[in-house]
């Protein structure tokens, strides 16, 4: 992955501390947990080990599905013996699966650490299988392995696999493509605002149905909705699309800047944008003010997890008056993060990567008022008297846009509020 | 390759983690890629542990593969020992590391640590979680007792305790972190043994340190509470240290009584006073007329072998159910389960394939499913009542309240848990008599709020009726009559009638056929 660029941080923004060592984070397979809900006609078949299957059901198992839309082709001893055999086996498993689930429109073969170490080529397998099942189902491959991806990066690799099969936007036409999965309600809100600005057509990637892929071409303007879609953006640029540099639509300011960046690129006057967003921005600010009482002056630290850390830190500092402790990111992707870095206080302590135990030592020394971390650490840190906000929720909850700004702040208020309420 | 939607067990290194996380002063170093630390949240979230499991990961990534991953292992090993200062170190690999063959166990042994180092062989592509836990526990005990001679008179606990003028003392072996109700089972069994006059010498692996494990031979005998975890260790301890061990797992009233009798025989203590003092409500609750409607309810049982074997006896002897099917994912105990199935005249299902279990449940169409978290999925899909009796389980089955499965209180818990999802007798009658009630719909279980099973049954068409090519056609009148049969036996009635019709070469099913089939099967 070129995402973890080794060159020195010479550009804008705060200084970056690079760390390597033990990591406490999900691998990219975890992305399936929300991607399979977003694209309702898709199925995700992990080719991996019992560990991969166990991860998937531990992460999503609390939901009881009559028919789950993900599964694992678990490698057996005999699959490790020879590669040709493994390909035959995969063909058989895919046949079985498609027979059981005729409703599947798009099948993703998802590579894992074991399948990558034994060099099972899923891209070739997908192409081969696609020919066998031509017309009925689309078969694509991407990697969600811990070797290549951490947590939300699994969405990036999944979307990247979709890019080559996106239809071509007819020459001379222009369109907007919003990249990164958003809750349906958030998509609808943005669509209404874009309509009022006269910006159309606007498409979203991933789409709600994998069968309804958005077009892309030289007329496409890209707007990143999530900070973890860098590789997808690159792939889309290779098809002629142009990225609009913008901070992410978190909070009132983030959303405002995001809308303005789009409008400027589309040729809509800034006055018109201000008029269209005036009402939602005003009510968002009002709702946000109530949260600010809780958050202002409180110190917050981030352990690296989802890539959302930078825009969240920016929102919480700028709009909620929080003080930033150490802000950890799994990797720093400057392709999409520059506008965010420019908005962060220059004194922010940024850490890229992780060496878990020393980072926890720093956290214990700092004792922030609230720590954003994964579920493996949240309860143990609570037991040490630190208040935590588990970060995975931030990926599952509608947090983007004006009308979610207060909901986003509320996610951080709630643990503080709870700690104050409990008298036992 | 095996298509897996849900798996009953994790990989073997999860078993090793369960042993490490159960114990004090033990640390496990796992050679594993970034992301495998997901397993921590099984402990911190599902079991709500307040501490991180004592597990460190090498967290290698693609860029490390070009370099020296063995060096990464060594660095993690020395950092871990320096930071956590455990009394014993376990070293193992997750599945991906197994493919790299860095031999982390051998590396650790060569690093000159001054504590016992136990390298673990955990074949991730052939073995599973329980095997991993059993193997880890066994290897750790072996390593810590290495070279120790057996104690004098170890084979005769009664004589040994008497000679030393003290109560006999037992080791409770098998409870682990993430085990189904282990926490409360230990409390309950400790009380049970105390009522007999037996002390608990130590519990392992849960709560034990390596120093504790070294004291295992000082116990007079071992109680194998969870054979999936402790059977191999108990067998080894018997061979090496002449320690007898208790075979009966005290789940259910009858099994608990047998357990007391077995411990009595072993220790020379009279079990009668303890049996006379036993307080359990299950026998009376089960005899009270309210429970009459439970008679002959058809149940299907699936889970780990220990809980399935126990549940089968409770279902048949203590609740008066008909056991129509049993199965387990514990291949290590397949023989015991097959023997049991033969005794009760059903076919044993030995599989870890969730789809095979689903197919069997659909085929048998029981009135109650006793199983794991996975059987809850199956039961929901088929619209059947279900209770959980075995791991794997989710967070709701690590309850705050006292909820053992073992001993006399365990029997009380089991009575409530199993009967709860069934429709109460009166409601059952009312629904049979009056079918058009606006509130108590067909398939509604009024005492349960928003039962998923009930929703599924009313919303979806009968999922138990795959359209087979040779299926006889139901006449509209017969179909209407079938709807008058209570929903929880309707699936069975439909299958029986179709089977009856097919056997007689009938292509149509009339009301008469329905009742002829009913008479035929009720002989």
Share of chain B above pLDDT 70, in %: 91
Which helix (H) or strand (E) element contains residue B145? none
Q: Is 70 exceeded by the pLDDT of residue B439?
A: no
Q: Distance between CA B36 and CA B367 in Å, rounded?
A: 39
Q: Do the bridges between strand B88-93 and strand B117-119 make them parallel or antiparallel, or are there none, so unpaired?
A: parallel
Q: Is 60 exceeded by the pLDDT of residue A307?
A: yes
Q: Which of B3, B11, B34 sits opposite A51 (nearest CB)?
A: B11
The region of weakest confidence among A251-255, A284-288, A403-407, B442-446 is B442-446
Residue B22 structure tokens:
């159960």
Contact B50 A383 (CB under 8 A): yes
User: Contacts of residue A73 in chain B, CB cutoff 8 Å?
Assistant: 1-4
Average pLDDT over residues A193-210: 96
Average pLDDT over residues A123-145: 91
Q: Per-residue confidence at A274, pLDDT binned at 50, 70, 90?
A: very high
Q: Distance between CA B57 and CA A303 in Å, rounded?
A: 17
Residue of A nearest to B3 (CA): A73
Average pLDDT over residues A267-273: 97
Q: Per-residue confidence at A325, pLDDT binned at 50, 70, 90?
A: very high
Q: Distance between CA A319 and CA A399 in Å, rounded?
A: 14
Cα A197 to chain center, whole Å? 27
Q: Is 50 exceeded by the pLDDT of residue A313?
A: yes
Residue B291 structure tokens:
């429970």
Cα angle A314, A318, A321 (rounded to 5 degrees) comes to: 115
Smallest Cα distance from B6 to chain A, Å: 7
Segment of A52-66, A132-146, B113-127 carrying the highest mean pLDDT:
B113-127
CB B46 within 8 A of CB B165: no
CB B312 within 8 A of CB B301: yes
* B152 beta partners: none
The region of weakest confidence among A58-62, A359-363, B84-88, B401-405 is A58-62
Residue B61 structure tokens:
């990534």
Which helix (H) or strand (E) element contains residue B199? strand B199-204
Q: Per-residue confidence at B40, pLDDT binned at 50, 70, 90?
A: very high
Average pLDDT over residues B219-240: 97
User: Contacts of residue B9 in chain A, CB cutoff 8 Å?
Assistant: 50
Residue for token pair 């994998």: A210
Q: Which of B40, B60, B95 sits opposite A50 (nearest CB)?
A: B95
Q: How far does chain A reach from its first CA to its final CA, in angstroms?
A: 48
pLDDT of residue B461: 38
Contact A376 B40 (CB under 8 A): yes
Cα angle B479, B485, B491 (rounded to 5 degrees) comes to: 75
CB atoms within 10 A of CB B467: 5
Average pLDDT over residues A90-95: 94
Smallest Cα distance from A96 to chain B, Å: 8
| B221/A contact by beta carbon, under 8 A | no
Q: Is 70 exceeded by the pLDDT of residue B438?
A: no
pLDDT of residue A60: 74
CB A406 within 8 A of CB A288: yes
Query: What does each C-alpha distance from B127 to A115, B133, B330, B424 come to in angstroms?
Result: 18, 11, 11, 43
Select from B287, B390, B324 the least CA-distant residue to B8: B390
Q: Is 60 exceeded by the pLDDT of residue B468?
A: no
Residue B204 structure tokens:
């392992």
Q: How far does chain B reach from its first CA to its final CA, in angstroms?
A: 46
Q: Per-residue confidence at B96, pLDDT binned at 50, 70, 90?
A: very high
The per-residue pLDDT for range B364-387, each reduced to its tens digit, is 999 999 999 889 889 888 888 999
Q: Do the bridges between strand B221-224 and strand B245-246 make them parallel or antiparallel, or are there none, so unpaired?
A: parallel
Mean pLDDT, rounded, of chain A: 92
- Count how many Cα atoms sit within 13 Å of the Cα of residue A182 in the half-sphere of its side chain: 26
pLDDT of residue B458: 36
- Count how many Cα atoms sit within 13 Å of the Cα of residue B485 in the half-sphere of its side chain: 18
Query: What does each C-alpha distance from A274 to A244, A340, A401, B37 come to in angstroms?
Result: 19, 21, 15, 46
Average pLDDT over residues A59-71: 70
pLDDT of residue B457: 37
Q: Return the active site residues of B.
A: 290
pLDDT of residue B435: 58
Q: Which of A57, A58, A92 sits opposite B41 (nearest CB)?
A: A58
CA dihedral A191, A193, A194, A197 (to 10 degrees): 160
pLDDT of residue A83: 66
Which helix (H) or strand (E) element contains residue A299? strand A299-302
Average pLDDT over residues A360-384: 96
Better-predicted residue by pLDDT, A44 or B461: A44
Q: Distance between CA B44 and CA A108 in Å, rounded?
A: 31
Quote the ipTM score: 0.93
Share in percent of chain A as helix, strand, coil (round to 5):
50, 15, 35
Q: Is 60 exceeded by the pLDDT of residue B256?
A: yes
CB A170 within 8 A of CB A49: no
440-499 of B, contacting A, C-beta below 8 A: 452, 456
């Amino acid at each position: 992955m070129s995402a973890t660029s080794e060159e020195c941080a010479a550009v804008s923004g705060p200084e970056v501390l690079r760390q390597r060592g033990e990591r406490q984070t999900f691998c990219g397979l975890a992305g399936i947990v929300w991607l399979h809900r977003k694209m309702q006609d898709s199925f995700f078949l992990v080719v991996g080990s019992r560990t991969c299957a166990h991860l998937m059901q531990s992460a999503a198992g609390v939901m009881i599905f009559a028919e789950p839309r993900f599964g694992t082709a678990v490698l057996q001893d005999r699959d490790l013996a020879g590669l040709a055999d493994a390909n035959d086996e995969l063909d058989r498993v895919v046949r079985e699966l498609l027979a059981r689930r005729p409703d599947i429109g798009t099948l993703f073969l998802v590579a894992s650490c074991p399948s990558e170490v034994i060099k099972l080529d899923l891209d070739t397998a997908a192409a081969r299988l696609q020919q066998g099942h031509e017309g009925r189902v689309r078969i694509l491959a991407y990697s969600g392995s811990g070797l290549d991806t951490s947590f939300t990066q699994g969405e990036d690799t999944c979307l990247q696999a979709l890019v080559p099969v996106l239809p071509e936007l007819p020459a001379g036409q222009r369109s907007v493509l919003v990249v990164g999965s958003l809750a349906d309600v958030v998509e609808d809100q943005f669509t209404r605002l874009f309509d009022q600005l006269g910006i159309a057509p606007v498409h979203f990637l991933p789409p709600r149905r994998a069968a309804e892929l958005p077009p892309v071409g030289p007329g496409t303007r890209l707007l990143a909705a999530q900070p973890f879609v860098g590789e997808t953006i690159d792939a889309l640029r290779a098809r002629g699309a142009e990225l609009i540099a913008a901070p992410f639509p978190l909070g009132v300011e983030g959303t405002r800047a995001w809308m303005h960046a789009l409008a400027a690129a589309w040729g809509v006057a800034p006055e018109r944008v201000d008029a269209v967003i005036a009402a939602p921005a005003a009510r968002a600010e009002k709702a946000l003010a109530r949260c600010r009482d809780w958050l202002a002056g409180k110190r917050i630290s981030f352990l690296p997890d989802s890539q959302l850390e930078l825009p969240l830190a920016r929102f919480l500092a700028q709009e909620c008056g929080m003080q930033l402790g150490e802000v950890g990111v799994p990797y720093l992707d400057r392709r999409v993060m520059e506008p965010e870095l420019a908005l962060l206080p220059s004194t922010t302590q940024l850490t890229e990567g992780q060496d878990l135990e020393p980072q926890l030592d720093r956290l214990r020394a700092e004792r922030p008022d609230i720590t954003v971390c994964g579920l493996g650490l949240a309860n143990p840190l609570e037991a040490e008297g630190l208040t935590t906000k588990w970060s995975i929720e931030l990926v599952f909850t509608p947090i983007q846009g004006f009308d979610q700004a207060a909901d986003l702040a509320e996610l951080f208020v709630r643990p503080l509020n709870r700690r104050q309420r409990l008298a036992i | 390759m095996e298509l897996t939607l849900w798996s009953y067990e994790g990989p073997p290194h999860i078993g090793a983690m369960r042993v490490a996380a159960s114990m004090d002063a033990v640390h496990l170093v796992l050679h594993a890629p970034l992301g495998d630390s997901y397993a921590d949240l099984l402990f911190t979230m599902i079991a709500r542990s307040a501490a991180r499991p004592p597990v460190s990961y090498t967290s290698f990534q693609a860029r490390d593969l070009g370099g020296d991953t063995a060096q990464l292992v060594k660095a993690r090993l020395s950092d871990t020992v320096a930071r956590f200062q455990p009394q014993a170190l376990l070293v193992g690999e997750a599945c991906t590391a197994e493919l790299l063959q860095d031999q982390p166990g051998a590396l650790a042994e060569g690093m000159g640590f001054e504590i016992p180092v136990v390298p673990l062989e955990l074949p991730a592509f052939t073995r599973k979680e329980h095997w991993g836990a059993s193997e880890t526990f066994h290897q750790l005990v072996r390593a810590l007792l290495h070279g120790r001679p057996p104690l004098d008179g170890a084979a005769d606990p009664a004589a040994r305790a008497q000679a030393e003028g003290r109560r006999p003392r037992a080791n409770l072996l098998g409870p682990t972190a993430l085990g189904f109700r282990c926490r409360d089972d230990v409390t309950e069994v400790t009380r049970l043994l105390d009522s007999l006059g037996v002390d608990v010498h130590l519990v392992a692996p849960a709560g034990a340190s390596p120093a504790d494990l070294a004291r295992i031979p000082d116990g007079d005998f071992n109680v194998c509470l969870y054979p999936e975890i402790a059977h191999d260790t108990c067998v080894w301890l018997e061979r090496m240290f002449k320690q007898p061990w208790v075979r009966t797992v005290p789940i259910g009233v009858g099994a608990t009584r047998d357990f007391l009798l077995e411990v009595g025989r072993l220790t020379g203590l009279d079990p009668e006073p303890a049996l006379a003092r036993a307080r359990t409500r299950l026998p009376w609750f089960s005899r009270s007329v309210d429970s009459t409607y439970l008679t002959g309810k058809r149940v299907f049982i699936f889970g780990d072998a220990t809980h399935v074997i126990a549940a089968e006896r409770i279902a048949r002897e203590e609740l008066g159910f008909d056991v129509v099917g049993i199965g387990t994912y514990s291949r290590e105990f397949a023989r015991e389960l097959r023997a049991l199935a033969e005794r009760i005249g059903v076919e044993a299902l030995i599989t870890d394939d969730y789809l095979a279990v689903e197919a069997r449940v659909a085929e048998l169409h029981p009135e109650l499913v006793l199983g794991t978290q996975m059987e809850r999925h199956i039961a929901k899909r088929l619209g059947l009542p279900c209770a959980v009796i075995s791991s794997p389980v989710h967070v709701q089955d690590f309850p705050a309240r006292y909820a053992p499965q073992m001993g006399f209180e365990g029997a009380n818990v089991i009575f409530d848990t199993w009967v709860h999802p069934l429709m109460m007798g009166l409601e059952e009658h009312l629904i049979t008599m009056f079918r058009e009630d606006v509130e108590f719909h067909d398939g509604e279980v009024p005492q349960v709020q928003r039962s998923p099973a009930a929703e599924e049954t009313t919303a979806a068409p009968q999922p138990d009726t795959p359209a087979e090519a040779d299926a006889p056609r139901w006449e509209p009148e017969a179909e209407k009559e079938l709807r008058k049969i209570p929903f929880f036996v309707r699936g069975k009635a439909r299958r029986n009638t179709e089977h009856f019709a097919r056997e007689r070469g009938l292509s149509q099913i009339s009301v008469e056929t329905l009742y002829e089939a009913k008479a035929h099967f009720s002989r």
